[in-house]
Chains A and B, each alone.
Chain A
Amino acid sequence: MPEYRGPGPTPIKLDVNGESRLLLAEPRRTLLDALRYDLGLTGAKKVCDRGDCGACTVLVEGVAEYACLTLAVACECKHVETIEGGGADVEALQQAFLAHDAYQCGFCTPGQIMALAALLRRDGQAGEEQVKTAVAGNLCRCGAYPNIVTAGVAASRAKTSAKAK
Protein backbone atom coordinates (compact mmCIF):
# COMPACT_ATOMS: atom_id res chain seq x y z
CA MET A 1 0.00 0.00 0.00
CA PRO A 2 1.33 3.46 -0.78
CA GLU A 3 2.38 5.55 2.16
CA TYR A 4 1.19 8.94 3.20
CA ARG A 5 3.61 11.76 3.74
CA GLY A 6 2.95 14.75 5.92
CA PRO A 7 0.95 16.65 6.99
CA GLY A 8 4.16 17.88 8.64
CA PRO A 9 7.36 18.71 6.79
CA THR A 10 8.68 15.93 4.61
CA PRO A 11 11.90 15.77 2.59
CA ILE A 12 11.24 16.66 -1.02
CA LYS A 13 13.77 16.10 -3.75
CA LEU A 14 13.46 18.41 -6.69
CA ASP A 15 15.39 18.63 -9.91
CA VAL A 16 15.54 22.33 -10.63
CA ASN A 17 17.47 23.76 -13.55
CA GLY A 18 19.45 20.59 -13.78
CA GLU A 19 20.46 20.56 -10.14
CA SER A 20 19.18 18.16 -7.60
CA ARG A 21 17.83 20.09 -4.59
CA LEU A 22 16.56 18.77 -1.34
CA LEU A 23 14.15 20.64 0.85
CA LEU A 24 12.00 20.00 3.84
CA ALA A 25 8.45 21.15 3.42
CA GLU A 26 4.87 20.19 4.05
CA PRO A 27 3.01 18.47 1.23
CA ARG A 28 0.87 21.57 0.90
CA ARG A 29 3.82 23.69 -0.15
CA THR A 30 3.29 24.75 -3.73
CA LEU A 31 6.08 24.52 -6.24
CA LEU A 32 6.01 28.31 -6.37
CA ASP A 33 6.58 28.72 -2.64
CA ALA A 34 9.23 26.02 -2.69
CA LEU A 35 11.12 27.79 -5.44
CA ARG A 36 10.82 31.20 -3.85
CA TYR A 37 11.18 30.44 -0.16
CA ASP A 38 13.09 27.20 0.03
CA LEU A 39 15.36 27.53 -2.97
CA GLY A 40 15.70 31.31 -3.19
CA LEU A 41 14.62 31.34 -6.83
CA THR A 42 12.43 34.42 -6.89
CA GLY A 43 12.22 34.87 -10.66
CA ALA A 44 8.82 33.21 -10.75
CA LYS A 45 6.40 35.67 -9.16
CA LYS A 46 3.37 35.23 -6.97
CA VAL A 47 0.66 37.50 -8.27
CA CYS A 48 -2.66 35.70 -7.94
CA ASP A 49 -1.75 32.34 -6.44
CA ARG A 50 -4.75 30.73 -8.14
CA GLY A 51 -3.98 30.19 -11.81
CA ASP A 52 -5.30 33.48 -13.11
CA CYS A 53 -2.23 35.38 -14.25
CA GLY A 54 0.77 33.34 -15.42
CA ALA A 55 3.43 35.22 -13.44
CA CYS A 56 4.52 31.95 -11.81
CA THR A 57 5.00 30.08 -15.08
CA VAL A 58 7.80 27.52 -15.03
CA LEU A 59 8.53 24.50 -17.16
CA VAL A 60 7.77 21.08 -15.75
CA GLU A 61 9.07 18.34 -17.98
CA GLY A 62 9.54 20.99 -20.65
CA VAL A 63 5.91 22.08 -20.52
CA ALA A 64 4.69 25.47 -19.25
CA GLU A 65 2.74 25.20 -16.03
CA TYR A 66 1.61 27.43 -13.21
CA ALA A 67 3.81 26.80 -10.20
CA CYS A 68 1.15 28.23 -7.88
CA LEU A 69 -1.27 25.40 -8.69
CA THR A 70 1.32 22.67 -8.50
CA LEU A 71 2.39 20.90 -5.34
CA ALA A 72 6.13 20.72 -4.84
CA VAL A 73 5.83 17.17 -3.58
CA ALA A 74 4.13 16.15 -6.81
CA CYS A 75 7.15 17.35 -8.78
CA GLU A 76 9.59 14.83 -7.42
CA CYS A 77 11.28 13.00 -10.27
CA LYS A 78 10.28 15.77 -12.65
CA HIS A 79 12.52 18.25 -14.36
CA VAL A 80 11.67 21.81 -13.35
CA GLU A 81 13.05 24.84 -15.19
CA THR A 82 12.82 28.43 -14.05
CA ILE A 83 13.94 31.69 -15.58
CA GLU A 84 17.15 31.43 -13.56
CA GLY A 85 18.08 28.26 -15.41
CA GLY A 86 18.69 30.05 -18.67
CA GLY A 87 19.34 27.90 -21.70
CA ALA A 88 19.41 28.83 -25.36
CA ASP A 89 15.71 29.56 -25.79
CA VAL A 90 15.39 31.55 -22.60
CA GLU A 91 18.44 33.60 -23.45
CA ALA A 92 17.27 34.27 -26.98
CA LEU A 93 13.96 35.45 -25.57
CA GLN A 94 15.66 37.66 -23.02
CA GLN A 95 17.66 39.31 -25.77
CA ALA A 96 14.53 39.80 -27.83
CA PHE A 97 12.65 41.22 -24.83
CA LEU A 98 15.45 43.72 -24.28
CA ALA A 99 15.70 44.70 -27.91
CA HIS A 100 11.96 45.18 -28.36
CA ASP A 101 11.22 46.78 -25.00
CA ALA A 102 8.85 43.93 -24.24
CA TYR A 103 8.48 44.78 -20.55
CA GLN A 104 7.89 47.79 -18.37
CA CYS A 105 7.86 47.00 -14.68
CA GLY A 106 9.16 43.53 -15.49
CA PHE A 107 7.03 41.72 -12.95
CA CYS A 108 5.23 39.55 -15.48
CA THR A 109 8.33 39.13 -17.59
CA PRO A 110 9.83 35.91 -16.22
CA GLY A 111 6.44 34.25 -16.67
CA GLN A 112 6.05 35.56 -20.20
CA ILE A 113 9.51 34.38 -21.14
CA MET A 114 9.00 30.90 -19.71
CA ALA A 115 5.66 30.54 -21.50
CA LEU A 116 7.38 31.47 -24.73
CA ALA A 117 10.36 29.24 -24.01
CA ALA A 118 7.99 26.29 -23.98
CA LEU A 119 6.61 27.41 -27.32
CA LEU A 120 10.02 27.80 -28.89
CA ARG A 121 11.04 24.38 -27.75
CA ARG A 122 7.90 22.78 -29.12
CA ASP A 123 7.26 24.61 -32.37
CA GLY A 124 10.34 25.51 -34.33
CA GLN A 125 8.90 28.52 -36.05
CA ALA A 126 6.14 30.35 -34.28
CA GLY A 127 4.17 33.14 -35.89
CA GLU A 128 2.24 35.94 -34.28
CA GLU A 129 -0.86 33.83 -33.58
CA GLN A 130 1.08 31.06 -31.87
CA VAL A 131 2.98 33.57 -29.81
CA LYS A 132 -0.24 35.24 -28.72
CA THR A 133 -1.75 31.91 -27.79
CA ALA A 134 1.35 30.92 -25.85
CA VAL A 135 1.05 33.98 -23.59
CA ALA A 136 -2.75 34.12 -23.52
CA GLY A 137 -2.54 33.07 -19.88
CA ASN A 138 0.09 35.64 -18.93
CA LEU A 139 -1.42 38.92 -17.89
CA CYS A 140 0.62 42.10 -18.15
CA ARG A 141 -0.85 45.07 -16.35
CA CYS A 142 1.68 47.47 -17.80
CA GLY A 143 0.35 46.55 -21.23
CA ALA A 144 3.62 45.53 -22.85
CA TYR A 145 1.69 43.08 -25.03
CA PRO A 146 2.48 44.45 -28.51
CA ASN A 147 6.20 44.31 -27.79
CA ILE A 148 5.94 40.93 -26.13
CA VAL A 149 4.44 39.57 -29.33
CA THR A 150 7.13 41.22 -31.44
CA ALA A 151 9.84 39.84 -29.18
CA GLY A 152 8.36 36.34 -29.23
CA VAL A 153 8.19 36.27 -33.00
CA ALA A 154 11.70 37.69 -33.31
CA ALA A 155 13.16 35.10 -30.94
CA SER A 156 11.45 32.34 -32.83
CA ARG A 157 12.78 33.64 -36.14
CA ALA A 158 16.27 33.97 -34.74
CA LYS A 159 16.09 30.38 -33.62
CA THR A 160 14.96 29.01 -36.96
CA SER A 161 17.49 31.03 -38.91
CA ALA A 162 20.24 29.90 -36.54
CA LYS A 163 19.16 26.32 -37.18
CA ALA A 164 19.16 26.85 -40.92
CA LYS A 165 22.80 27.91 -40.79
Chain B
Amino acid sequence: MKSFSYAKVATAEEAAGLLKQRNTRLIAGGTDLLGLMKERLIEPDRLVDVNGIAQLRGITATKENFRVGALTTLAELAAHQATPLIIKEALADAATPQLRNMATVGGNLVQRNRCWYFRSAEHRCWLKGGPRCLAVDGDNRYHAIYGEGECRQVTPSDLAPALIALDATVVMRTDEGEDSLPLAQLYVAPTARHRREHAVGDDDLILAVRIGGDALRRHATYLKFMERATWQFAVVSVAASARLVEGRAQDVRIVAGAVANIPWRVKAAEDLLAGEKIDDARALAVAERFVRDARPLRDNAYKVAVLRELVRRAVLRLKD
Protein backbone atom coordinates (compact mmCIF):
# COMPACT_ATOMS: atom_id res chain seq x y z
CA MET B 1 0.00 0.00 0.00
CA LYS B 2 1.43 3.33 -1.04
CA SER B 3 1.47 5.99 1.64
CA PHE B 4 -1.28 8.62 1.69
CA SER B 5 -2.62 11.49 3.73
CA TYR B 6 -5.68 11.00 5.80
CA ALA B 7 -8.45 13.25 7.03
CA LYS B 8 -11.60 12.63 8.97
CA VAL B 9 -14.62 14.67 8.10
CA ALA B 10 -17.74 15.39 10.11
CA THR B 11 -20.19 16.52 7.44
CA ALA B 12 -21.15 15.58 3.92
CA GLU B 13 -20.21 19.05 2.78
CA GLU B 14 -16.70 18.68 4.08
CA ALA B 15 -16.44 15.32 2.39
CA ALA B 16 -17.68 16.68 -0.89
CA GLY B 17 -15.20 19.51 -0.68
CA LEU B 18 -12.22 17.29 -0.13
CA LEU B 19 -13.28 14.70 -2.65
CA LYS B 20 -13.05 17.24 -5.45
CA GLN B 21 -9.28 17.11 -5.16
CA ARG B 22 -7.41 14.88 -7.54
CA ASN B 23 -6.65 11.28 -6.60
CA THR B 24 -8.64 11.45 -3.40
CA ARG B 25 -10.78 8.57 -2.19
CA LEU B 26 -13.51 8.21 0.30
CA ILE B 27 -13.03 5.46 2.85
CA ALA B 28 -15.94 3.94 4.73
CA GLY B 29 -15.38 0.45 6.15
CA GLY B 30 -12.23 0.15 4.09
CA THR B 31 -12.71 -3.52 3.37
CA ASP B 32 -12.66 -3.13 -0.38
CA LEU B 33 -10.68 0.05 -0.68
CA LEU B 34 -7.73 -1.16 1.39
CA GLY B 35 -7.75 -4.45 -0.49
CA LEU B 36 -7.39 -2.57 -3.76
CA MET B 37 -4.72 -0.31 -2.31
CA LYS B 38 -2.70 -3.17 -0.89
CA GLU B 39 -2.65 -4.77 -4.29
CA ARG B 40 -1.68 -1.33 -5.65
CA LEU B 41 -4.56 -1.38 -8.06
CA ILE B 42 -5.33 2.12 -6.90
CA GLU B 43 -2.87 4.48 -5.24
CA PRO B 44 -4.72 7.45 -3.85
CA ASP B 45 -2.75 10.34 -2.41
CA ARG B 46 -5.48 11.21 0.06
CA LEU B 47 -8.14 9.31 1.96
CA VAL B 48 -11.22 11.02 3.33
CA ASP B 49 -12.70 9.10 6.23
CA VAL B 50 -16.45 9.66 6.30
CA ASN B 51 -17.19 7.58 9.37
CA GLY B 52 -17.76 10.69 11.44
CA ILE B 53 -20.71 11.89 9.35
CA ALA B 54 -23.68 11.25 11.60
CA GLN B 55 -26.13 11.94 8.79
CA LEU B 56 -24.95 8.80 6.97
CA ARG B 57 -25.69 6.47 9.84
CA GLY B 58 -28.74 4.67 11.03
CA ILE B 59 -31.92 3.12 9.78
CA THR B 60 -35.32 4.77 9.74
CA ALA B 61 -38.27 2.53 9.15
CA THR B 62 -41.93 3.25 8.73
CA LYS B 63 -44.62 1.24 7.00
CA GLU B 64 -44.10 3.17 3.81
CA ASN B 65 -40.42 3.86 3.83
CA PHE B 66 -37.29 2.02 4.80
CA ARG B 67 -34.18 4.17 4.70
CA VAL B 68 -30.68 2.93 5.43
CA GLY B 69 -27.83 5.36 5.87
CA ALA B 70 -24.87 4.57 3.63
CA LEU B 71 -22.56 4.05 6.59
CA THR B 72 -24.78 1.43 8.16
CA THR B 73 -22.76 -1.75 8.45
CA LEU B 74 -24.02 -4.96 6.93
CA ALA B 75 -24.26 -6.39 10.44
CA GLU B 76 -26.39 -3.50 11.66
CA LEU B 77 -28.65 -3.82 8.66
CA ALA B 78 -29.00 -7.57 9.12
CA ALA B 79 -29.83 -7.16 12.79
CA HIS B 80 -32.47 -4.46 12.48
CA GLN B 81 -35.95 -5.73 13.17
CA ALA B 82 -37.56 -3.79 10.32
CA THR B 83 -35.14 -5.02 7.68
CA PRO B 84 -36.96 -6.98 4.97
CA LEU B 85 -36.39 -10.70 5.11
CA ILE B 86 -34.82 -10.86 1.66
CA ILE B 87 -32.12 -8.46 2.78
CA LYS B 88 -31.44 -10.54 5.87
CA GLU B 89 -31.19 -13.61 3.67
CA ALA B 90 -28.78 -11.84 1.36
CA LEU B 91 -26.60 -10.72 4.23
CA ALA B 92 -26.59 -14.02 6.10
CA ASP B 93 -23.87 -15.40 3.89
CA ALA B 94 -22.33 -12.19 2.62
CA ALA B 95 -18.62 -12.21 3.42
CA THR B 96 -17.85 -13.15 7.05
CA PRO B 97 -19.06 -11.90 10.43
CA GLN B 98 -16.06 -9.66 10.95
CA LEU B 99 -16.44 -8.17 7.48
CA ARG B 100 -20.14 -7.60 8.03
CA ASN B 101 -19.19 -5.66 11.14
CA MET B 102 -16.89 -3.46 9.10
CA ALA B 103 -18.42 -3.27 5.64
CA THR B 104 -20.94 -0.54 4.94
CA VAL B 105 -23.99 -0.58 2.71
CA GLY B 106 -22.64 2.23 0.55
CA GLY B 107 -19.32 0.51 0.09
CA ASN B 108 -20.97 -2.79 -0.68
CA LEU B 109 -22.91 -1.30 -3.56
CA VAL B 110 -19.89 0.26 -5.23
CA GLN B 111 -17.24 -2.34 -4.41
CA ARG B 112 -15.17 -3.37 -7.38
CA ASN B 113 -15.47 -6.78 -8.98
CA ARG B 114 -13.52 -9.90 -8.00
CA CYS B 115 -12.33 -11.06 -11.44
CA TRP B 116 -8.96 -12.57 -10.68
CA TYR B 117 -7.30 -10.86 -13.60
CA PHE B 118 -8.67 -7.56 -12.39
CA ARG B 119 -7.45 -8.21 -8.86
CA SER B 120 -3.95 -9.23 -9.94
CA ALA B 121 -1.54 -6.33 -10.12
CA GLU B 122 0.44 -8.18 -12.74
CA HIS B 123 -2.35 -8.48 -15.29
CA ARG B 124 -3.26 -5.38 -17.22
CA CYS B 125 -6.66 -6.32 -18.51
CA TRP B 126 -9.13 -4.31 -20.50
CA LEU B 127 -11.03 -2.94 -17.54
CA LYS B 128 -7.76 -1.55 -16.21
CA GLY B 129 -6.99 0.15 -19.49
CA GLY B 130 -5.33 -2.78 -21.19
CA PRO B 131 -5.95 -3.92 -24.76
CA ARG B 132 -8.22 -6.89 -24.05
CA CYS B 133 -10.11 -8.96 -21.57
CA LEU B 134 -7.90 -11.72 -20.22
CA ALA B 135 -10.77 -13.82 -18.96
CA VAL B 136 -12.23 -14.62 -22.34
CA ASP B 137 -9.29 -16.85 -23.27
CA GLY B 138 -8.17 -17.41 -19.71
CA ASP B 139 -9.78 -19.20 -16.82
CA ASN B 140 -13.35 -17.98 -16.73
CA ARG B 141 -15.09 -20.46 -14.46
CA TYR B 142 -16.58 -17.66 -12.38
CA HIS B 143 -17.23 -15.17 -15.13
CA ALA B 144 -20.32 -13.92 -16.89
CA ILE B 145 -22.84 -16.06 -18.69
CA TYR B 146 -24.73 -13.08 -20.04
CA GLY B 147 -24.07 -9.80 -21.60
CA GLU B 148 -22.11 -8.27 -24.34
CA GLY B 149 -19.08 -6.10 -24.30
CA GLU B 150 -15.48 -6.67 -23.62
CA CYS B 151 -15.48 -7.13 -19.87
CA ARG B 152 -16.97 -10.39 -18.55
CA GLN B 153 -16.61 -9.89 -14.83
CA VAL B 154 -19.62 -10.35 -12.62
CA THR B 155 -21.34 -8.32 -9.92
CA PRO B 156 -19.95 -9.32 -6.52
CA SER B 157 -22.51 -7.77 -4.20
CA ASP B 158 -25.09 -9.86 -2.40
CA LEU B 159 -26.94 -6.78 -1.38
CA ALA B 160 -27.45 -5.24 -4.81
CA PRO B 161 -29.69 -7.93 -6.36
CA ALA B 162 -31.79 -8.12 -3.20
CA LEU B 163 -32.26 -4.37 -3.10
CA ILE B 164 -33.02 -4.16 -6.79
CA ALA B 165 -35.65 -6.85 -6.37
CA LEU B 166 -37.30 -4.40 -3.97
CA ASP B 167 -36.97 -1.49 -6.44
CA ALA B 168 -34.64 0.30 -4.05
CA THR B 169 -33.41 3.77 -4.82
CA VAL B 170 -30.10 5.33 -3.85
CA VAL B 171 -29.94 8.77 -2.42
CA MET B 172 -26.90 10.67 -3.65
CA ARG B 173 -25.54 13.97 -2.53
CA THR B 174 -25.51 16.75 -5.07
CA ASP B 175 -24.40 20.32 -4.68
CA GLU B 176 -28.06 21.25 -4.50
CA GLY B 177 -28.86 18.68 -1.83
CA GLU B 178 -30.15 15.18 -2.48
CA ASP B 179 -31.03 13.31 -5.58
CA SER B 180 -32.35 9.80 -5.85
CA LEU B 181 -32.28 7.32 -8.64
CA PRO B 182 -33.22 3.67 -8.96
CA LEU B 183 -30.37 1.54 -7.68
CA ALA B 184 -30.49 -0.55 -10.84
CA GLN B 185 -29.42 2.50 -12.80
CA LEU B 186 -26.18 2.70 -10.87
CA TYR B 187 -24.96 -0.38 -12.64
CA VAL B 188 -23.88 0.06 -16.22
CA ALA B 189 -21.86 -2.32 -18.29
CA PRO B 190 -18.36 -0.92 -18.71
CA THR B 191 -17.67 0.72 -22.02
CA ALA B 192 -14.41 1.70 -23.64
CA ARG B 193 -14.87 5.23 -22.38
CA HIS B 194 -16.18 4.29 -18.94
CA ARG B 195 -14.18 1.31 -17.69
CA ARG B 196 -16.04 0.94 -14.43
CA GLU B 197 -18.72 -1.36 -13.08
CA HIS B 198 -21.01 1.42 -11.97
CA ALA B 199 -21.85 5.05 -12.45
CA VAL B 200 -20.65 6.31 -9.08
CA GLY B 201 -17.75 8.70 -9.49
CA ASP B 202 -14.84 8.95 -7.10
CA ASP B 203 -16.19 12.23 -5.81
CA ASP B 204 -19.81 11.10 -5.46
CA LEU B 205 -21.30 10.50 -2.07
CA ILE B 206 -24.04 8.00 -1.46
CA LEU B 207 -26.18 9.12 1.45
CA ALA B 208 -28.68 6.33 1.80
CA VAL B 209 -30.68 3.57 0.20
CA ARG B 210 -34.45 3.61 0.30
CA ILE B 211 -37.17 1.04 -0.19
CA GLY B 212 -40.77 2.06 -0.67
CA GLY B 213 -43.86 0.66 1.03
CA ASP B 214 -45.16 -1.34 -1.93
CA ALA B 215 -41.96 -3.25 -2.20
CA LEU B 216 -41.75 -3.78 1.54
CA ARG B 217 -44.99 -5.73 1.38
CA ARG B 218 -43.88 -8.05 -1.39
CA HIS B 219 -42.94 -11.67 -0.94
CA ALA B 220 -39.25 -11.87 -1.58
CA THR B 221 -36.38 -14.24 -1.24
CA TYR B 222 -32.64 -14.49 -1.90
CA LEU B 223 -30.62 -17.57 -2.77
CA LYS B 224 -26.86 -17.74 -3.03
CA PHE B 225 -24.81 -20.55 -4.49
CA MET B 226 -21.28 -21.12 -3.24
CA GLU B 227 -18.79 -23.95 -3.61
CA ARG B 228 -18.15 -24.11 0.07
CA ALA B 229 -20.59 -23.70 2.91
CA THR B 230 -19.77 -20.10 3.64
CA TRP B 231 -17.30 -17.29 2.92
CA GLN B 232 -17.35 -17.16 -0.81
CA PHE B 233 -18.53 -14.48 -3.17
CA ALA B 234 -21.62 -15.71 -4.94
CA VAL B 235 -21.01 -18.09 -7.82
CA VAL B 236 -24.61 -17.39 -8.72
CA SER B 237 -27.28 -15.61 -6.73
CA VAL B 238 -30.94 -14.93 -7.31
CA ALA B 239 -33.21 -12.39 -5.69
CA ALA B 240 -36.90 -12.66 -6.47
CA SER B 241 -39.91 -10.69 -5.33
CA ALA B 242 -43.59 -10.49 -6.17
CA ARG B 243 -46.83 -9.32 -4.80
CA LEU B 244 -49.33 -12.13 -4.43
CA VAL B 245 -52.90 -11.19 -5.25
CA GLU B 246 -55.25 -14.08 -4.64
CA GLY B 247 -52.40 -16.45 -5.18
CA ARG B 248 -51.34 -14.80 -8.39
CA ALA B 249 -48.00 -13.08 -8.80
CA GLN B 250 -47.81 -9.38 -9.62
CA ASP B 251 -44.91 -6.95 -9.86
CA VAL B 252 -42.46 -9.75 -10.41
CA ARG B 253 -38.75 -9.06 -10.12
CA ILE B 254 -36.11 -11.69 -10.62
CA VAL B 255 -32.59 -10.36 -10.33
CA ALA B 256 -29.55 -12.56 -10.72
CA GLY B 257 -26.17 -11.68 -9.25
CA ALA B 258 -22.73 -12.90 -10.30
CA VAL B 259 -23.92 -13.86 -13.78
CA ALA B 260 -23.24 -10.66 -15.71
CA ASN B 261 -21.37 -7.42 -15.27
CA ILE B 262 -24.56 -5.82 -14.03
CA PRO B 263 -27.35 -7.30 -11.91
CA TRP B 264 -29.28 -9.30 -14.49
CA ARG B 265 -32.98 -9.32 -15.19
CA VAL B 266 -34.87 -11.11 -17.91
CA LYS B 267 -38.08 -9.26 -18.54
CA ALA B 268 -39.63 -12.09 -20.54
CA ALA B 269 -39.13 -14.49 -17.64
CA GLU B 270 -40.74 -12.09 -15.19
CA ASP B 271 -43.66 -11.66 -17.60
CA LEU B 272 -44.17 -15.41 -17.71
CA LEU B 273 -44.94 -15.29 -14.02
CA ALA B 274 -46.96 -12.09 -13.88
CA GLY B 275 -50.63 -12.77 -13.26
CA GLU B 276 -50.02 -16.49 -12.78
CA LYS B 277 -50.32 -18.92 -9.94
CA ILE B 278 -46.98 -20.21 -8.77
CA ASP B 279 -46.57 -23.95 -9.17
CA ASP B 280 -43.80 -26.37 -10.13
CA ALA B 281 -44.48 -26.19 -13.83
CA ARG B 282 -44.66 -22.41 -13.87
CA ALA B 283 -41.50 -22.06 -11.83
CA LEU B 284 -39.64 -24.34 -14.20
CA ALA B 285 -40.91 -22.46 -17.23
CA VAL B 286 -39.82 -19.16 -15.75
CA ALA B 287 -36.41 -20.60 -14.95
CA GLU B 288 -36.02 -22.02 -18.44
CA ARG B 289 -36.93 -18.69 -19.93
CA PHE B 290 -34.51 -16.89 -17.65
CA VAL B 291 -31.53 -18.88 -18.88
CA ARG B 292 -32.58 -19.22 -22.49
CA ASP B 293 -30.36 -16.44 -23.65
CA ALA B 294 -27.37 -17.26 -21.49
CA ARG B 295 -24.10 -17.50 -23.42
CA PRO B 296 -21.59 -19.18 -21.16
CA LEU B 297 -17.86 -19.01 -21.71
CA ARG B 298 -15.59 -22.03 -22.01
CA ASP B 299 -15.42 -22.88 -18.30
CA ASN B 300 -18.72 -21.77 -16.86
CA ALA B 301 -21.58 -23.64 -18.49
CA TYR B 302 -22.36 -25.09 -15.07
CA LYS B 303 -23.43 -21.65 -13.94
CA VAL B 304 -26.34 -21.80 -16.35
CA ALA B 305 -27.60 -24.99 -14.70
CA VAL B 306 -27.11 -23.52 -11.27
CA LEU B 307 -28.88 -20.33 -12.22
CA ARG B 308 -31.82 -22.20 -13.72
CA GLU B 309 -32.25 -24.14 -10.53
CA LEU B 310 -31.89 -21.12 -8.28
CA VAL B 311 -34.49 -19.20 -10.25
CA ARG B 312 -36.84 -22.16 -10.06
CA ARG B 313 -36.40 -22.52 -6.32
CA ALA B 314 -36.63 -18.80 -5.67
CA VAL B 315 -39.88 -18.55 -7.61
CA LEU B 316 -41.34 -21.46 -5.68
CA ARG B 317 -40.34 -19.86 -2.40
CA LEU B 318 -42.36 -16.76 -3.29
CA LYS B 319 -45.45 -18.82 -2.56
CA ASP B 320 -44.72 -18.89 1.18
| Chain A complexes with chain B | yes
Q: Mark A residues whose CB is within 8 Å of B.
A: 1-8, 26-28, 30, 49-51, 54, 57, 63-66, 69-71, 73-74, 115, 133-134, 136-138
Q: Tell me, rounded to whole Å, the shortest Cβ–Cβ distance linking B90 to chain A.
A: 15
Instruction: How many A-B residue pairs have C-beta atoms within 8 angstroms? Tell me.
Output: 95
Chain B interfacial positions (CB closer than 8 Å to A): 1-10, 14, 17-18, 27, 30-31, 34-35, 38-39, 45-47, 49, 51, 75, 95-99, 101-102, 230-231
With A3-B7, A4-B5 as given contacts, are A54 and B30 in contact (CB-CB < 8 Å)? no
Cβ–Cβ < 8 Å partners of A134 in chain B: 97
Nearest 7 CB-CB pairings of A with B: A137-B96, A27-B6, A7-B3, A4-B5, A6-B5, A136-B230, A2-B7
What are 26 A-B pairs at a CB distance below 8 A? A2-B14, A4-B46, A5-B5, A6-B3, A6-B5, A7-B3, A26-B3, A27-B4, A28-B3, A30-B34, A49-B38, A50-B38, A50-B39, A51-B31, A51-B35, A51-B96, A64-B101, A65-B102, A66-B31, A71-B34, A73-B6, A74-B6, A74-B30, A133-B97, A136-B97, A137-B95
Judging by beta carbons under 8 Å apart, are B34 and A137 in contact?
A: no
Q: Quote the shortest CB–CB distance from A120 to chain B (angstroms).
A: 13
Query: Which among B2, B3, B35, B98 has the greatest number of chain A C-beta atoms within 10 A?
Result: B98
The complex places the Cα of A129 from the Cα of B137 at a distance, in Å, of 42
Identify whether the interface residues of B are mostly helix, strand, loop, or mixed: mixed
**Given A4-B46, A69-B31, A74-B30, does the pair A51, B6 have CB atoms closer than 8 Å?**
no
Q: Which residues of B contact A71 (CB under 8 A)?
A: 6, 27, 30, 34
Residues in A whose Cβ lies below 8 Å from that of B10: 2
Query: Once bound together, how far apart are the Cα atoms of A137 and B17, in whole Å?
Result: 37
CA distance A57 to B98 in the complex (A): 8
B49:A7 contact, CB within 8 angstroms: no
Query: Within the assembled complex, what's the spacing in Å between the Cα atoms of A7 and B35?
Result: 19
Known: A27-B5, A115-B98, A136-B97. 15 other contacts (CB 8 A): A2-B14, A6-B3, A6-B4, A27-B6, A28-B3, A30-B34, A49-B38, A65-B102, A66-B98, A69-B30, A73-B6, A74-B27, A137-B95, A137-B96, A137-B231
Taking the closest CB of chain B, its distance from the CB of A69, in whole angstroms, is: 5
